Structure 1
Amino acid sequence: MSGFELVGKLLDPVSRADPYPLYAEFRARGPVWVEEMSTLVVTGYRDCETLLRDPRLSAERWRFFQDDQAADPYPPDAPPSVRRPWFLSLDPPDHTRLRRLVSSAFTARAVARMEAPVARLVDDLLDRASGRDTFDLLPGLAGTLPVTVICRMLGVPQADERLFHHWSARLTRLLDGFSAPDDGNGETPEWVSGTVELHRYVNELVADRRRSPRRDDLISELLAAQDGGDVLSHDELVSTIVLLLVAGHETTVNLIANGVLALLRHPGQLAALRADPGTAAAVVEETLRYDPPVQLTARVADRDLLVGKAKVPAGGLVILLLAAAQRDPAANPDPDRFDPGREQVRHLGFGFGPHFCLGAPLARLEGRLALAAFARRVREPRLVADPPPYREHINLRGVGELLISHAGITR
């Protein structure tokens, strides 16, 4: 089977429930050059780790797909911020500057302050599910927790949080990034209208915060962020807030859902977590390795380079199959076994190098608290359907529904 045919199988929705045997086929071939796509697919752990910090590869992957003839999808009256690239898709010095400004507000101290509020929110969500014999983990916990947390960190009025749930769901396909999000029916794609609506709302939110500053929310901290006299422009600030919402939501949804799914498929590990909630952090790290919320990332070669025996010409795309790399036996022995107790967990679940995820501490906190509470409070949980249905996303691969039956949810 050719590399192009393997990519075709990867795109096939049939592979969504379990792409890992397909990843093993890729990995057995080493770096695979797919001529039809001008793309190199990389699956080895060492190769992926090395390439994520290689300055010859650009994070501005939109350049590979850019079509000079393509029409601007946004209406003329859309806020200028919709056309500004997210800083995770920029290279130095732009990426370095924006990341430094944002990280000065998105600190470990700020995340640590969230532990008690997040724990209360997790318990509140499980309380709401306690009156039903069966509940869907996505709206019941995994899908609601992350967007509520980021909204409250940003200082979004609670009455408006439901809007952010809706916008985040509509923008997820855009963030998935593996294929062009085009509805193909000649109408304005849903992600376009959702993007415009979200940017308009955030523009108004930022303008309101400028008029009436607060000191206890992330927007106020980002407004105050500066480094050597440099500050975020208005459009940079709006674009960053949108990124924090959308990227921080979808990936953490999948982290929590994938962790619960793995625990339900491995009752012994669920029992171990229930007996010792302190192991929840290890369960999160193993979930990030075993079934990560982000399956791949991509870079564009700025110049000709050699990866193994594969040659990549300047302008070629390099797809790093992180989920495959993390099951590389050279990095993690017995990689197909879900084992939170393994001595060392090597993963690239938050990336590596200059683009390492700024939101990693918050995602780890939410994952740890959600998984520990699920194990402690939900009695005799069982999957209603295995495998559960999956959404169409390739990169941000996750379940569309996770129905769980149980014998009760304790206080």
Structure 2
Amino acid sequence: MTTSLSPDLARLSDPAVRPDPYEVLRALREASPYTDPASGILVVGRRADCESVLRNPKVSSDRRGAGITKVPQMPNLMNLDAPDHTRLRRLAGRAFKPRVIEQWRPRVEEIVEELLQEIAAGGDSTDLVSAFAYPLPVRVICEMLGVPREDHPVFERWARSIAYTVDPQLVPGQLTTGVEAEVEEARAGFVGYFSRLIAERRNDPAPRADVLSELIAAEESGDQLTETELIIMCILLLVAGHETTANLILNGVLSLLRHPDQLELLRQRPELAGAAVEEVLRYDAPAQMITRIAREPLTVGDVEVAAGTPLLVLLGAANRDPEEHRDPDTFDITRGDPGHLGFAAGPHFCLGSVLARMEGAIALNAFARAFADPVLDTGALSYRPHVAVRGPERMRVSFREIRTGARRPGGAGEALDG
């Protein structure tokens, strides 16, 4: 893939577009599917076409070496095809079954309450990125992997650096050598850390109720994850679990603040938290786009696609397709429309979706219940530089008070069964 793009497609990386990319996405969706004349990328934005691509066995997720991302990727669940992907997902999936994740609900609620107490002690305003949305998933996934609390801050820094590896290379020079060096430093740090942690577990196999132990013990027909596979799986779970969930929470809180009627509705009806998460995943999803490669010739819409063609699947555009979603630009937590692509679709449907949904529902309920008279500082709102992963870099909110110690049950779990 070249880094030369037509102006319409290049606008996705324009910092001025980042606060609200949906007009650009609408135009791309309406023109799609089409081949970008400058780069040869097939742009896919209509809901039906996006899902068809994600489920098509003629489409490959292995973009390594294709030039789609500037930073080389390690082989993992996101960029492998069957049979390797099928095997890894089957083994790793044992640690992410709904019954396993549900056991973590009380601890997630405790962490949320701890964060609220810290915010309450800090005055009448806070940056929800650094004080709430980012620490929550980092603490959760680190505890699930058995990482001690004192190591959580460095894990958060490493995870934020590696997030650059999922961005498509839409604009020349977007990734500086400094960013690439940070990514490599983070990778080396993760590999060294998890190598030691896995070795400690194998030398001391005492029963532990965490995901790392489940991954080490996962076995089917004599097959187990190798040490390298375990390390890469831990890195993926931490980075993907951290980025997706943090931005799901932030985009959800931002949508609630911008739609006070919906915030009040959630405050009065906490059982809608699960539905609110689904609406955020549709309306302003953390995952905005996915890249694929045509493994064989195929047809997308009325476009014939040659083998080897890169495809840009615009999930953010598909989730607002008026052919599939009524009033798609309206944020409505009572919508009852689960047909979004917020976690993709097909064989690569997000492995951690159950955990992300649970954390998101608990966090949104907590925000609605705990923050009295919250006000967004619109002038301080800024976004991260990514185009594939969407979420604020800084989001300051003032409030009259924080109501702590009054968790209300309900809502966070009921909507997860679908």
Query: Is this a same-fold pair by TM over 0.5?
Result: yes
SS in 1 for 2:392: coil
Residue from 152, 162, 176 that aligns with 2:167:
176
Shift of 1:182: 7.2
Contact 2:61 2:293 (C-alpha < 8 Å) held by counterparts: yes
Match of 1:80 in 2: none
Shift of the alpha carbon at 1:63?
Answer: 3.7
- 1:285 aligned to 2:285? no
Q: Which residue of 1 aligns with 2:416?
A: none
The aligned counterpart of 2:17 is: 15
Q: Deviations over 1:122-154 (max 9, x none)?
A: 011011111311100011110110011000011
1:316 aligned partner: 309
Give the SS at the match of 2:401.
coil
The residue type paired with residue 23 of structure 1 is L
Corresponding letter in the other structure for 2:85: H
What one-letter code is carried by the residue in structure 2 that aligns with 1:288? L
Amino acid at match of 2:315: L
2:28 paired residue number: 26
Q: Does 1:191 align with 2:193?
A: no
2:116 matched to 1:114? no
Deviates more, 1:380-389 or 1:333-342: 380-389
1:313 Cα deviation (Å)? 1.4
Equivalent residue runs for 1:2-401 within 5 Å: 4-65=6-67, 84-131=74-121, 132-178=123-169, 183-185=175-177, 189-213=181-205, 214-385=207-378, 388-401=381-394
Report if aligned partners of 2:248, 2:286 keep a CA contact under 8 Å in 1.
Answer: yes
TM-score normalized with structure 2 length:
0.91
Aligned residues of 1:332 and 1:345 also touching (Cα < 8 A): no
| Deviation, structure 1 residue 292 | 0.1
Deviation of 1:13 after TM superposition, in Å, equals 1.2
Q: Secondary structure at the match of 2:285?
A: coil
Distance verdict in 2 for CA 1:378–1:278, change over 3 Å: same
Pairs aligned (count)? 398
Structure 1 distance, partners of 2:92, 2:128, is 32
Deviation at residue 356 of structure 1 after TM alignment: 0.7
Distance 2:133 2:50 in 1: 29
Change (3 A) 1:7 1:320: same
Give the alignment's Cα RMSD to 1 decimal: 2.1
368-377 or 152-161: bigger deviation: 152-161
Contact 2:61 2:79 in 1 (8 A): yes
C-alpha displacement at 1:326, in angstroms? 0.6
Local SS of the residue matching 1:91: coil
Q: Residue 360 of structure 2 aligns to a residue in which SS? A: helix
Give 2:204's aligned amino acid. Answer: S
Amino-acid identity (%): 43
Q: Deviations over 1:3-41 (max 9, x none)?
A: 822111112111101000001111221312113212101
- CA deviation after TM superposition for structure 1 residue 165, in Å: 1.3
The amino acid that maps onto 1:104 is: R
1:349-395 deviation line (CA, Å, top 9, x unaligned): 11111111110000000000000011001000010116821111001
CA contact (8 A) 2:68 2:169 kept: no
TM-score relative to the length of structure 1: 0.93
Does structure 2 retain, via aligned residues, the 8 Å contact 1:102–1:222?
A: yes
Kindly indicate whether the alpha-carbon contact (under 8 Å) linking 1:142 and 1:256 is maintained by their aligned counterparts in 2: yes
Q: Give yes or no for contact 1:84–1:235 (8 Å, CA) kept in 2.
A: no
CA contact 1:175–1:247 (8 Å) conserved in 2 = no
Rounded to whole Å, the distance in 2 between the matches of 1:136 and 1:186 is: 26
Q: Deviations over 1:319-342 (max 9, x none)?
A: 110010010011101100001111
